[in-house]
A and B are shown apart, each in its own frame.
Chain A
Amino acid sequence: MSLANLDLTSVQQHFPDLLPSALSRDRGATAYRLRLPAFPSGRAFGWAELRLPKGFPEHARAEIVLSPDAVLRVPHLDQAGVLCTDGDPGPGSGHSPEDRILLLLQAYQEHFLAPWLAGGMDGDFAAEALNYWAIEVAQSLSHSDPVRAVWTVDPCPAEAIVRQGLLLLPERIVIAADEQLPITNRLIRSMGKGASQHIGVLVADIPISHTLTPGTWPRTASDLDLILGGRLKPAEYEMFRSATSRRGRRIHRVVLLRSSESAFAYLLPGGPPTVVDDGKRKKTYPPLSRPLPLSAVRLDPDWTVGRDQHPEVADRQGKRILVLGAGALGSPVIDHLAKAGVGFITVVDADDLSPANIGRHLLGAESIGKRKASAAARRVNLGYPATVVTPHAMTAESWLKKHALSGVDVVLDLTGDPDVRWYVDQARQEHPCPLLIGWMEPYVAAAHACLLPPQTPWIQGSRDPLNDLEAVSWPDEVIRREPGCSSRFQSYTAAAAAHAVALVTENALDLIDGADGSATAQVVSWVRGQHFLDKHWPGLALRDWALPAAPHEGLILTRPFP
């Protein structure tokens, strides 16, 4: 169906304010003006039109577009003036194209025009302030802007302050903190060549109690000066106004207005000239003549890790976790712990990554032949600025000989190695700390997280209870010998192991957070059902304690330890 087949007359019968003349618009769109009502003073805009993009009705939705003078004055418009309310239900809705247009026009009238005239939308800017700020920023954008965005890495200060920040080139990102904060250095490292040059800037970091809207955000240098004068202490205000570098050159000054929910930044005029290197030649642009609005985004752990929904992140940031083993279980667990906001992870593993590992390891072919501990640490350190991973490419036994467990909040033994379990127990006698022992059974038919409070040893009497805790009594043939060498392995998929990774990580986080139950020694097990066992090896049977899982695809069971 094409636009020529549309029966707009029937639409007009139901919506007489749709004017019949078709107008051509960019990218093959067709538009029809809408007759506007008499506006009260201050509510008028130039025009409104129904726009049918190229591809309507099959591959595009109809939209309402308002004149440019309405942008940032009327809520719910994007930068191009497109009204962002539900309207055309789209090609998959089962409606005829005419009905879709009619639904859009009715939505425009009932959910936009009428409330706009009645003042019902006057508070709506505040609800989506950052969307409108993005428009303000985009409207001021140019390729010669000295700064592209501001990143914040710590909580909003209680009182307005002037602080050092860093402009990172060539990415043109300002971090609103200096290298005194470790997270600044970690971000710089993550940015690699994008942050090859660091230039000191000054940031006026000012808390705000209400989000800013097009009606309240500063527009001029004088508006910003009023804020600076009102919020900074006199000496800081003077210093910020007349700031120069140590060599007496002009420096960039950023005004950051923020709360935990929204942030707005400006680069002030009066900074140094900007040099833009497009790869072929360098061009110098004069300093700004007016404040440049900038997007300000949060990279602090509370936001990147938990979107402010996880107050436990603040505590986790101070925790030190020792992870023994960076294999198919350990390496993704480290990754998940970093994603959960654990501040410090020490990872110990003596092995190199082999080609056969990459099917189920955090690392891929780029790390073949590299130390698993070092490469996993590098990967996580680059990706997650809220976490510091320190690698030790040595056996757990060697590490435990060289280091004590003092200062370690939780130990995760994910080696599966009985010797390591014994050494860890010895070390815990000297420095008691919570321990999680995690392992998988063949095919990941079961996985276990054994949680031990500080005073509970793993070795019971002189016996290592691992085999007794398993869900299946395994025939020897299940474990295979790697061709040409002495290594033994069992093939399982990364997808099957993902259940084990999740089980171990969730329980590790409980131990780290000191959650309910972490004071009791227990074993939490993921057990697959009989159907899964039968698929992998004939004649396998679940032990009695695990039988409840038999009819299911999988079940998590919790038992006391031992």
Chain B
Amino acid sequence: MQRLLKELQGEVLAIPGRDIVVAFFLFLFILPLITTEPFILRIVTFANIYAIYAVSWDLLCGFTGQINLGQALFFGVSAYTSALLNYYYGLPAWTTIPIGALVAVGMGFIVALPTLRLRGIYLALVTLAFPIVMTGIIFAFANFTGGEIGIPGIAPLSPSRTITYYITLLVMLASVFVAWKLVDVKSKIVRTGIILQAIREDEITARASGINTIRYKLLAFCLSGFLAGIAGGLYTHVMRIAGPSTLELMTSVYPIVWTIFGGVGTIFGPVTGVYILFPLVESLRVVGEIRILLFAILVVVVLVSMPEGIAVWVRDKIERTCPRCKLINMATRRTCRACGAELHLIKGR
């Protein structure tokens, strides 16, 4: 118990970035106690779902370097699978969502197999095509899939708004935690973090070091598909309709927007991006038609001034890594909290 407390103090409390994360998650937990305004709860519920979705993109693109411009494929396929299972067979949400996610994993596998030969921008542009091909298939079988209207009348996740909120919040926390652990470079239990980042940095060298890059790229596609699939299934059951909008171009673009806005290649980046941008866009509805214009201008301005993303920019302002022992310190400290090295002489990270 005492060791746990000490660990908590050293690994969480002393690092300002993690303080903010903990405080923010605590805030999310007590949010329904503060307000039960349906509008706010609904927005944060969707933000929870989209956080999973954005993290799934970051896992594949930020960490493994496989730029996927068609993430909507996983989201949409899972959304449609959940909807069809619920609509035709009446299965409840807790079975349709995992099945949808598994189908998305299958899609990840199918997409990855032909595209493993492609790299960089070729991969990006080919993946862009998959959701559009899928939309074509959906329209071709309009009798079964509902065509442009989609499949309405899906069973809700739970009867109460607050319970739905907590379900999405817990699933989000679990997914983000798993993703964070999987990509942790320093982890002694799983090696995926360091291997995936090695593939991103230099695939040939990774292969020369004896890493089966094909297997790990497939793994990255499947993991990303699974997380995006969970998000897609949750979305269907909260929205209570699955339509072709889950496969359209903007659905692929949004996770990219959130992730890059927050900071690509960090798990906290996409989460930050979602919780800043999604409520902002929704509340901008009050200004009417110029909403998307304002949003796009904001994205351009922020990214041109902070090209690495807003969360990374903030982190670099409030944290400083000790040059001697590599511990993370608060930026206000003059000496390292462990080894006493002079910190105020170095600039930034």
Q: Do A and B bind each other?
A: no
A residues adjacent to B (C-beta < 8 A): none
